[in-house]
Amino acid sequence: MKRVLNTVLLIVFVITLNFIIFELMPGTQASISNLVQNPRVFDPTQVARLLKLYNFCKEVTITGPHSYNCVPTTIWDRFSAYFVNMITFNFGDSFQTNKPVLHDMIQTGRLVNTLTLLGVATTVALLIGTLLGVVAAAKRGSIFDSGSVTLSLITFSLPTFWMGLLFIMIFANRLQLFPSGGVTPAYWAIKTPDLLGQFLTRVQYLFLPALTLTLFFYGGNLLLTRATMTEALSEDYSNTGRAKGLPERTVLFKHALKNASLPLVTNAALSFGGLLGGAIITETVFNWDGLGFWLFNAIGWKDYPVMQAMFFIIALCVIAANFISDIFYGILDPRIKYE
């Protein structure tokens, strides 16, 4: 119950923050008044849309090419309208396409594209990071251990987008093994191959962005797994397990890992926001037409409805991830009981 309340509170907080940023920041005000007042860019429909979007006026009537009448609203009017819009996912129309934001997000396949990339990268990174972390902890002090720690420290300190650019230079431009960007080849618009061909090509397009995002994510995971596993392996229950005659594999992956996974779950949820940030950048580097790339384009267009929607949705995802991880934690750790 407390958890649910917390989550609701967080959502309200996010909406409020969003409102404050977009409403009260001088930048927004300036860009709107600029649009309204600067005769050269004065476009009555644009202005009307903005004024409607931000709820600045109860009513707008355009009285001439450079003038309009506005019945102003109070900030509370605006906030309540904004709040309702947000929780009903009514984000308005994109400036770029004049279509509803939700339409541009889902019907264009962007959501699916992002989920594919994120899903693959997260799964692989979690598997590899955890596996290598367990082995590194088990062989603490070995060459394997210091090697994998060094490697993850390196991938940890390399900027994601730079790794992406390097991969493009090496694997796409030089070796020509993979395409340098995009989700599907352009010729598919004319002629789409059979399903197997489609699948193989899609994998080819997915490979580099997924690799980049995986490398971005696995290092932290490895380091954390190694740390928590080291802790777990030094606990007496690991010794009890060994003394029972359990094979080392069982001690590691059943007894120690289940304990070590508790902080991992929390961390996975907390780093979900960072992962989404990594996805935005990776998508931009590889022109991967997902939500992150869309957000990047929205920046250039000053497409406020899209930016707001993306910010809100990403925040929602992170909040959801935290909620889910809390529940997971409860399942994994019998010491925690929820009322």
Partner 1 sequence: MSENTSVPYSLVRFKRFFFNLLRNKKSAAGLTLLSIFVFIAVAGPLLTPYTPLGSVVSAQLNPPSWIVYFTGPLGWSQNAEFTGIKASSITGATLTTTSIGGDSASFSAASGASGGTVEVQKFVTWTYPGPAKRFVTSLSITPGPTILGQTVIATVYLDRFVGGVRDARWNIFDKTIDSNSTFEVNLDSISGDLRVRLGLSTSNIDPAQLIFSRQADYAYALELTLPPSANIDFSLQNFKLQIRGSTWGWLGTDQAGHDILTQLIYGARLSLIVGLLATFIGVGLGLVVGLIAGYLGRIVDEVLMRFTDMMLVIPGLPLLIVLVNVLGPSLTNIILVLGFLGWMGFARVVRSQVLSLRERPFIEAAKASGAGTGYITLRHILPNVVSLTYVNLALSVPAAIVGEAALSFLGLGDQTSVTWGRMLELARESGGSATNLFWWWVIPPGIGIALVSLSFILIGFSLDELFNPRLRRRR
Partner 2 sequence: MPVLQLDGLTTNYRTVRGWVKAAEDVSFEVEKGEALGLVGESGCGKTTVALSILKILPSGARIRHGKIIFDGRDLVPLSDSEMRKIRWKGISIVFQGAMNALNPVFKVGDQIVEAIRLHEDVSKGDAMRRAESLLELVGVEPSRVNNYPHEFSGGMRQRALIAMALASNPQLLIADEPGTALDVIVQAQVLKLMRSLKEKLGLSMIMISHDLSIVAEVCEKVAIMYAGHLVEYGSIEAIFKEPLHPYTQGLLGAFPGIKGERRKLTSIPGQPPDLLAPPAACRFHPRCPYVMDICKKEKPLLEKAGSGDHYVACYLY
Helical segments of 234-290, H only: 236-244, 248-250, 257-270, 272-285
Among 72, 188, 274, 336, interactor with partner 1 by CB under 8 A: 274
Q: How far apart are CA 225 and CA 79, in angstroms?
A: 44
**DSSP 8-state symbol, 12:** H
Interface pattern 117-146 for partner 2 (x via CB under 8 A): ---------------------xxxxx----
- Minimum distance, C-beta of residue 270 to partner 2, in the bound complex (Å): 21
Q: How far apart are CA 262 and CA 266, in angstroms?
A: 7
- Tokens representing residue 243 in the block: 């003394």
- Minimum distance, C-beta of residue 233 to partner 1, in the bound complex (Å): 12
Residue number with CB closer to partner 1 (132 or 309): 309
Q: How far apart are CA 317 and CA 11, in angstroms?
A: 11
Among 43, 59, 77, 248, interactor with partner 2 by CB under 8 A: 248
Q: Per this entry, what is the length of the chain?
A: 339
**Binding residues for partner 1 restricted to 320-339, rule: CB under 8 A:** 322
Among 132, 257, 295, 306, interactor with partner 1 by CB under 8 A: 295
By the rule CB under 8 A, 333 interacts with partner 2: yes
Q: Which stretch binds partner 1 (CB under 8 A): 103-111, 187-195, 236-244, 311-319?
A: 311-319
Nearest in space to 304 (alpha carbons), one of 64, 6, 30: 30
Among 273, 326, 328, 332, interactor with partner 1 by CB under 8 A: 273
From partner 2, partner 1, none, which one binds at residue 14 (CB under 5 to 8 Å depending on kind)? Answer: partner 1
Residue 156, phi-psi category: left (phi > 0), alpha (psi -120 to 50), beta (remainder): alpha
Q: How far apart are CA 78 and CA 75, in angstroms?
A: 5
List residues binding partner 2 (CB under 8 A).
138-142, 233-237, 239-248, 255, 258-259, 332-335
